[in-house]
């Protein structure tokens, strides 16, 4: 029960909000004066004001919705003035302006909506709704746009060069209110399906195509010299061993004299000889120019890592060169009269 009450409350709230929004729009509309005259049943005055305001209105002063509303009130006013032909003409312009537009059946009586519906079916107007800028991958991606029609009809969607020559038929056949069309960005040769019936109109949508190449990556810089370890032994460790051994052996030999003893032990010479031999052995083991295998292996690992990163960048660049994107910029759609075939 509580849920029921809550649901009803929302419904009423939505209704009130919609009504308030409609009133506010009517007052703020550039056609408010004519609409107010229509609501006061002064249809002659309403028609005059709305016709004047519609002649002045442009894309910058009135939105598409406001202009559509102005046309609807003008057609309704003409209809109630007994000028049905004029009303039909106004409704036709309304349908061509916005095929999706539908009159509010709570505001306008069936006399108006039935005439409008007849015009909408007969007018068979379409508009194209396309994103301003699209970037797709040729073949795998798709440039998508919508064809919106005022009523059921047969349409033909063809991509043409700027001089009008066709190069790709995207769709030919019947459609209802709207039709989603995709173009994979590829030029394909093919026969266009035969179009039967009278061509009611052509809408041109200029597409500015541009091939976009993704920048390739720069190669990684080779390792700096500071990252490499010396691969050959220098002379310093060898000289250090040799001179250290000599110095230490001399110290052992001279130690009794240093401490003031006058009876040196000959065994110290054995120690001095061993130390000197160790120094000489160290010189041989650390001789200058000796290859340092551990450093060589470390340097090879550094070079291998760099070569791997270069190979990875090369592979990525090959992929980027092959991956050409197609940038599509949709311009302003224009309706043109079909020429006799």
Partner 1 sequence: MKLASLGFACAVLVAGATPSSAQGLVPAAGLSIVSTRVRGTDQLTGTVLGGQGSVALGRIGPEGANGAGQDLVEGVALLGVRPASWLRLAVGPHARSYTLTGGTPLRWVFWELRARASSAFVGSAGRGYVELWRALSASVNVPEPFDHAQGGEAGMVVHLARAPLELRLGYRIDHAVLGGGSRLETVDAVVIGVGLSGR
Judged by the rule CB under 8 A, the positions of this chain that interact with partner 1 are: 237, 240-241, 243-245, 247-248, 251-252, 255-256, 258-268, 270-272, 274-275, 278-279, 281-282, 285-286
* Least distance (Å) between residue 298 CB and partner 1: 18
* Least distance (Å) between residue 265 CB and partner 1: 5
* Least distance (Å) between residue 233 CB and partner 1: 10
Per-residue three-class SS string for the chain: CHHHHHHHHHHHHHHHHHHHHHHHHHHHCCCHHHHHHHHCCCHHHHHHHHHHHHHHCCCCCCCHHHHHHHHHHHHHHHHHCCCHHHHHHHHHHHHHHCCCCCCCCCCCCHHHHHHHHHHHHHHCCEEEECCCEEEEECCCCCEEEEEEECCCEEEEEEEECCCCCEEEEEEEEEECCEEEEEECCCCCCCCCCCCCCCCCCEEECCEEEEEEECCCCCCCCCCCHHHCCCCECCCHHHHHHHHHHHHHHHHHHHHHHHHCCCCCCCHHHHHHHHHHHHHHHHHHHCCCCCECHHHHHHHHHHHHHHHHHHHHHHHHHHHHHHCEEEEEEECCCEEECCCCC
**127 or 242: whose CB is closer to partner 1?**
242
**268 or 303: whose CB is closer to partner 1?**
268
* Least distance (Å) between residue 258 CB and partner 1: 6
**65 or 265: whose CB is closer to partner 1?**
265
**115 or 275: whose CB is closer to partner 1?**
275
* Least distance (Å) between residue 246 CB and partner 1: 10
* Least distance (Å) between residue 230 CB and partner 1: 15
**105 or 236: whose CB is closer to partner 1?**
236
**18 or 274: whose CB is closer to partner 1?**
274
The number of residues making up the chain comes to: 341
**247 or 304: whose CB is closer to partner 1?**
247
């Amino acid at each position: 029960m509580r849920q029921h009450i809550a649901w009803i409350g929302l419904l009423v709230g939505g209704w009130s909000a919609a009504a308030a929004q409609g009133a506010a729009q009517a007052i703020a509309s550039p056609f408010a004066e004519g609409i107010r005259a229509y609501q006061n049943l002064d249809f002659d005055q309403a028609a005059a004001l709305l016709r004047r305001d519609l002649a002045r209105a442009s894309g910058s002063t009135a939105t598409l919705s406001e202009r559509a509303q102005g046309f609807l009130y003008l057609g309704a006013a003409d209809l109630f003035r007994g000028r049905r032909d004029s009303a039909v003409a106004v409704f036709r312009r309304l349908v061509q302006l916005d095929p999706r537009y539908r009159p509010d059946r709570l505001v306008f009586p069936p006399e108006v909506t039935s005439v409008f519906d007849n015009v909408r079916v007969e007018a068979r107007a379409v508009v194209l709704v396309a994103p301003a800028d699209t970037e797709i991958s040729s073949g795998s991606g798709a440039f998508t746009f919508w064809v919106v029609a005022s009523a059921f009809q047969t349409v033909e969607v063809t991509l043409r060069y700027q001089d009008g020559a066709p190069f790709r038929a995207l769709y030919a056949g019947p459609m209802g209110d709207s039709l989603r069309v995709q173009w994979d960005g590829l030029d394909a040769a093919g026969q266009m399906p035969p179009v039967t019936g009278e061509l009611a109109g052509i809408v041109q949508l200029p597409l500015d195509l541009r091939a976009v190449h993704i920048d390739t990556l720069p190669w990684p810089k080779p390792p700096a010299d500071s990252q490499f370890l010396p691969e050959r032994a220098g002379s310093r460790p060898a000289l250090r061993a040799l001179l250290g051994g000599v110095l230490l052996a001399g110290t052992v030999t001279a130690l009794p004299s240093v401490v003031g003893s006058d009876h040196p032990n000959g065994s110290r010479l054995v120690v001095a000889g061993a130390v000197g031999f160790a120094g000489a052995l160290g010189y041989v083991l650390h001789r200058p120019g000796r290859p340092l295998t551990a450093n060589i292996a470390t340097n090879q690992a550094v070079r291998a890592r760099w070569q791997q990163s270069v190979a990875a960048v090369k592979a990525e660049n090959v992929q980027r060169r092959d991956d050409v994107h197609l940038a599509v910029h949709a311009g302003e759609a224009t309706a043109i009269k079909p020429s006799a075939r």
